[in-house]
Amino acid sequence: MASTLGSTPDFNKILYTPLAEADPEVQNIIDKETWRQFSGLELIASENLTSLATMQANGSILTNKYSEGLPDHRYYGGNEWIDELEVLCRKRALQAFHLDPAKWGVNVQPYSGSTANFAALTALLQPQDRLMGLGLPDGGHLTHGYYTAKKKMTASSIYFQSLPYSIDHSNQLIDYKGLATQARIFKPRLIICGASAYPRDWDYAELRKTADEHGAFLMADIAHTSGLVAAGELADPFQYCDVVTTTTHKTLRGPRAGLIFFRKDSKYADDLEKRVNDAVFPACQGGPHNNTIAGIATALHQACQPEWKAYAKQVIKNAQALAETLVAKDYKLQTNGTDNHLVLWDLRPLKLTGSKLEKLCDLVGITINKNAVAGDTSAQVPGGIRLGTSALTSRNMLEDDIKQVGEFLNRAVQIALVLQKEAGSKLLKDFVRVATQGGEGLEGYKQVKELKKEVQEFARKWPLPGVDVSDLKRPAGISEDD
Ligand code: PLP
């Protein structure tokens, strides 16, 4: 019986063929995306650049294995190494957040932040129970109970009754008093804190007081800030919360997934461990993605090292340097600055929309996203943009480099104002037309080209984690000026 590669039947030969040969189309898309990440400035606050080691773990053979259940209690055989991996990942998760295993446990199986949140709600609440989360237009996340006048938008408002709290529009800080007052009427079973677009830290002690007044659970979703919390650079939600959820791919710099931490000694339930584990599987998910769990374990290992604190400190210093650069140019930032990795820029005084600046930045290789700012009247036309420094810090940039990025953003705004004038209408499509096609006697188009060239030259001076950039070539399908 032959057992060498020579005996591989034709139908299996593809199993040993590298991607570039097996599927050049997908390889080319990966190459183009690599080129884009190398040539541009990544300022999306919810993104980061994970490590080579994490990508290797995430792309590993562990993707082959089914392991429904928990270590030592699986519905499939062959899980001895997968059990070792999941136990290691859980240990590192508790270690990264300085948690006592006698008081806290963690489920590392959620596929993403949204599924982690829905599993957490499933664990804590009965259908139609009441929850309160920060409203989406005030910086909260969809999965914290968001709904509109016409539609319940996510499972968190479809299956539960939700009442959002808000920021105080006079200072754009969380309105803890307003929340307490609303809670006295609404009587929530759960209060959710944490946000997708809030540049300041949280007062968890104040939230705990309000939750206790109603015997409610307190849950923090620290998806955005978990890397900074692990480093001890932001307030510690674990001191006050019953459950803490997070994504693993934002400031924590791991693969795309979620974690749910649960308190073993919550005063409102002594069975949170079972509730959370049962909610993840079988209530909300199937088999865990073991390759991703390996990537999480690797990322958490990095977050346990002394260098992690230095990285987290630099992310914050960079966000503050970016804020100072913009404020020095008289631009308006929500709360006038930041405590964390993100800056919320209110463009309304400039009579510019978030959509236009996002589009213009895309054209010059700066990746940002439009975002609602306090007082926006239309969710369809957000008045600001959100900027984050996690990814650029992962490319080694320090404060002076970030100030240069602030200068590029300033130029982008000035060009957007020129284009808006040249477009002769308020419509985004006219703005895009003059930005991409120009026209007789129009200046904005030329300025877009110039800025794009400068941004590319600047961006390509920096390394890209997981990629040997010295060997990087412009892939097929990317034009000379991209
Ligand atoms: N929670 C918060 C606060 C977030 O900002 C996000 C995503 O941006 C999520 C949850 C959802 O995470 P995912 O996209 O992994 O489902």
| Segment 378-401, tens digit of pLDDT | 777 899 999 999 999 999 999 999
Q: What share of the chain is helix, strand, coil (3-state, %, to 5)?
A: 50, 15, 40
**Res. 481: pLDDT tops 90:** no
CA 111 – ligand 1 centroid, Å: 11
Query: Is residue 223 domain-shared with residue 79, that is, in the same domain?
Result: yes
Domain holding 346: CATH number?
Answer: 3.90.1150.10
Query: Is residue 240 domain-shared with residue 170, that is, in the same domain?
Result: yes
Q: Locate 49 and state its tokens.
A: 């650049």
Is 88 part of any domain?
yes
Query: Is residue 273 domain-shared with residue 370, that is, in the same domain?
Result: no
Domain boundary among 303, 323, 344: 303
Domain holding 160: CATH number?
Answer: 3.40.640.10
CA 249 – ligand 1 centroid, Å: 9
For residues 427 and 341, give the distance between their C-alpha atoms in angstroms, rounded to a whole number.
32
Q: Locate 307 and state its tokens.
A: 């260098």
Per-residue pLDDT, 482? 86
Is 46 part of any domain?
no
pLDDT digits (tens, 9 = 90+) for 346-369: 999 999 999 999 999 999 999 999
Q: Following DSSP, what letter does each residue of 16-55 receive, concatenated?
A: GS-HHHH-HHHHHHHHHHHHHHHHSEE--TT-----HHHH
**Which of 118, 141, 250 has most ligand 1 atoms within 8 Å of CB, for mutation?**
141
CA 30 – ligand 1 centroid, Å: 24
pLDDT digits (tens, 9 = 90+) for 246-300: 999 999 999 999 999 999 999 999 999 999 999 999 999 999 999 999 999 999 9
Per-residue pLDDT, 480? 84
Per-residue pLDDT, 4? 60
CA 148 – ligand 1 centroid, Å: 19
For residues 410 and 58, give the distance between their C-alpha atoms in angstroms, rounded to a whole number.
38
Domain boundary among 303, 326, 341: 303
Query: Is residue 279 domain-shared with residue 327, that is, in the same domain?
Result: no
Range of the domain at 367: 314-471
Nearest protein CA to atom 9 of ligand 1, as residue? 113
**Res. 3: pLDDT tops 70:** no
Instruction: Give the residue ranges of DSSP H helices in 365-398.
Output: 390-394
For residues 392 and 367, give the distance between their C-alpha atoms in angstroms, rounded to a whole number.
11
Per-residue pLDDT, 439? 86
Query: Is residue 370 domain-shared with residue 392, that is, in the same domain?
Result: yes
Domain boundary among 252, 272, 303: 303
Across the chain, mean pLDDT equals 96
Angle 384-390-391 (CA atoms, 0-180°, nearest 5)? Answer: 95
Is 332 part of any domain?
yes
Query: Is residue 235 domain-shared with residue 337, that is, in the same domain?
Result: no
Query: Is residue 275 domain-shared with residue 318, that is, in the same domain?
Result: no
Query: Is residue 129 domain-shared with residue 268, that is, in the same domain?
Result: yes
Is 91 part of any domain?
yes
The verdict on pTM exceeding 0.85 is yes
Out of 54, 143, 247, 393, which one is annotated catalytic? Answer: 247
Query: Is residue 324 domain-shared with residue 298, that is, in the same domain?
Result: no
Spell out which residues line ligand 1, taking CB within 6 angstroms: 46, 112-114, 117, 141, 143, 194-196, 221, 223-224, 247, 258
Query: Is residue 278 domain-shared with residue 320, that is, in the same domain?
Result: no
Out of 32, 36, 66, 268, which one is annotated catalytic? Answer: 66
For residues 393 and 383, give the distance between their C-alpha atoms in angstroms, rounded to a whole number.
27
Q: Is 250 a catalytic residue?
A: yes
Query: Is residue 261 domain-shared with residue 381, that is, in the same domain?
Result: no
Work out the average pLDDT over 442-451: 96
* Contact (CB, 8 A) for 117 and 124: no
Total count of domains within the chain: 2
Query: Is residue 81 domain-shared with residue 219, that is, in the same domain?
Result: yes
Out of 65, 91, 152, 256, which one is annotated catalytic? Answer: 256
